[in-house]
């Protein structure tokens, strides 16, 4: 598996089912160094620097699951697929709105350790073809002595290609974070600068995110079919749900020193609170 070569084998790619202009605002709120590039018809890819798992000691799967959850919330209806890998395993995580994340894992030698139902749910939530695409995903859940974890992820990318995904040339799962960033920059990816890192800044970022989050929400939502959720009964219901989900998630992430989950919780709280404030201001 390619990911086992080099001093830092762990890496990840975040595949967002939205164009870069819609992905940029919520991605900037993650406060991480990310590269953003178009990746086909109505797809974008985010390439992280990987600091939380390269230097912070957090499992890459845990970090990117939190990021995917945070990215999927402000762009409700626009799923995010996180592909991740390390020396021992590789896998995928799908986040879509407030639904529970769906994941599947393979050992480094390609041995499936996930549940078949998870892969079928993955296909359904991405609105993939229930026959052709599901049939193409099924071999990835079966033992194959000739397929390692790297080839399994390439298989997932190939299936998503039927739904319009087209990664920039040379950008493929299994490489180190450093290699991925080098390739993405060479292909003209946009660099999104963050300030702060995960757990150490998650608690204080809530105050700082005020205007940034308002601008991000307005940029993404006002010009979309989600506009009614900015104000009125739907907005209040959504804001309350985000607070209910975000507060315990933020506290749990801080307690576990998990930057990914703390960031996801902080984003939920920020979006929920700002949504309620915006609705009240417009009401007045």
Name every residue whose Cβ is closer than 8 Å to that of residue 163 and which is 6 or more positions away in sequence.
Answer: 126, 127, 128, 133
Predicted pLDDT of residue 207? 40
Look at residue 212 and tell me if it is in a domain.
Answer: no
Look at residue 27 and tell me if it is in a domain.
Answer: yes
Predicted pLDDT of residue 211? 47
Q: Same structural domain for residues 146 and 20?
A: yes
Q: Same structural domain for residues 264 and 143?
A: no
Per DSSP, the residues of 28-60 read HTT-S-EEEEE-BTT-EEEEE--HHHHTS---H
Look at residue 156 and tell me if it is in a domain.
Answer: yes
Q: Same structural domain for residues 55 and 182?
A: yes
Question: What is the number of structural domains in the chain?
Answer: 2
Boundary of a domain, candidates 132, 167, 192: 192
Look at residue 219 and tell me if it is in a domain.
Answer: no
Distance between CA atoms of residues 143 and 116, nearest Å: 12
Of the candidates 40, 25, 50, 36, the one whose C-alpha atom is nearest the C-alpha of residue 177 is 50
Tokens found for residue 108: 């480094």
Tokens found for residue 144: 């194959």
Predicted pLDDT of residue 75? 47
Boundary of a domain, candidates 165, 192, 219: 192
Taking the CB of residue 142, how many other CB atoms lie within 10 A of it? Answer: 9
Determine if the pTM surpasses 0.85: no
Region of 156 on the Ramachandran plot (φ > 0 left; ψ -120 to 50 alpha; else beta): alpha
Q: Same structural domain for residues 101 and 147?
A: yes
Predicted pLDDT of residue 47? 96
Using CA atoms, how far residue 120 sits from 62, 130, 175, 188, 209, in Å, is 22, 9, 27, 35, 37
Q: Same structural domain for residues 39 and 155?
A: yes
Of the candidates 73, 22, 55, the one whose C-alpha atom is nearest the C-alpha of residue 264 is 73
Q: Same structural domain for residues 171 and 240?
A: no
Using CA atoms, how far residue 222 sits from 17, 23, 80, 136, 217, in Å, is 18, 14, 21, 37, 8
Q: Across the 284 residues of the chain, what is the mean pLDDT of every consecutive 10-residue run?
A: 49 94 87 93 92 81 90 73 95 88 95 92 94 94 94 96 95 90 94 55 40 50 52 64 69 65 72 65 58
Look at residue 6 and tell me if it is in a domain.
Answer: no
Of the candidates 272, 156, 158, 271, the one whose C-alpha atom is nearest the C-alpha of residue 215 is 271
Tokens found for residue 158: 């190939």
Look at residue 1 and tell me if it is in a domain.
Answer: no
Contact 250, 265 (CB under 8 A): yes
Per DSSP, the residues of 149-165 read HHHHHHHHHHHHHTTTB
Predicted pLDDT of residue 72? 85
Q: Same structural domain for residues 114 and 183?
A: yes
What crossing angle do the helices spanning 198-208 and 259-283 adopt, rounded to 10°? Answer: 10
Boundary of a domain, candidates 137, 163, 192: 192
Predicted pLDDT of residue 54? 78
Look at residue 223 and tell me if it is in a domain.
Answer: no
Look at residue 201 and tell me if it is in a domain.
Answer: no
Q: Same structural domain for residues 176 and 260?
A: no
Q: Same structural domain for residues 270 and 173?
A: no
Q: Same structural domain for residues 19 and 152?
A: yes
Q: Same structural domain for residues 270 and 171?
A: no
Q: Same structural domain for residues 171 and 270?
A: no
Boundaries of domain holding 251: 230-283
């Amino acid at each position: 598996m390619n990911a086992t070569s080099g001093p830092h084998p762990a890496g990840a790619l975040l595949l967002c089912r939205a164009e870069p202009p819609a992905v940029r605002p919520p991605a900037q709120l993650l406060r991480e160094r990310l590269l953003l590039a178009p990746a086909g018809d109505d797809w974008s890819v985010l390439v992280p620097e990987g600091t939380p798992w390269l230097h912070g000691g957090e499992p890459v799967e845990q970090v990117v699951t939190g990021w995917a959850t945070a990215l999927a919330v402000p762009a409700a209806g626009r799923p995010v697929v996180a592909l991740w890998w390390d020396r021992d395993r590789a896998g995928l995580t799908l986040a879509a709105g407030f639904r529970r994340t769906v994941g599947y894992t393979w050992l480094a030698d390609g041995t499936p350790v996930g549940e078949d139902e998870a892969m079928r749910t993955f296909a359904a939530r991405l609105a993939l073809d229930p026959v052709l695409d599901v049939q193409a995903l099924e071999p990835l859940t079966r033992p194959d002595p000739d397929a390692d974890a790297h080839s399994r992820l390439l298989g997932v990318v190939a299936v998503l290609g039927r739904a319009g995904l087209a990664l920039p040339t040379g950008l493929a799962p299994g490489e180190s974070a450093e290699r991925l960033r080098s390739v993405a920059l060479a292909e003209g990816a946009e660099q999104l600068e963050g300030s702060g890192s995960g757990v150490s800044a998650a608690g204080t970022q809530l105050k700082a995110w005020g205007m940034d989050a308002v601008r991000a929400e307005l940029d993404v939502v006002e010009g979309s079919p989600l506009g009614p959720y900015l104000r009125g009964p739907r907005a209040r219901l959504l804001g309350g749900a985000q607070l209910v989900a975000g507060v315990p998630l933020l506290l749990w992430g801080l307690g576990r020193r998990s930057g990914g989950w703390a960031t996801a919780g902080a984003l939920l709280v920020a979006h929920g609170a700002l949504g309620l404030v915006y609705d009240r201001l417009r009401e007045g």
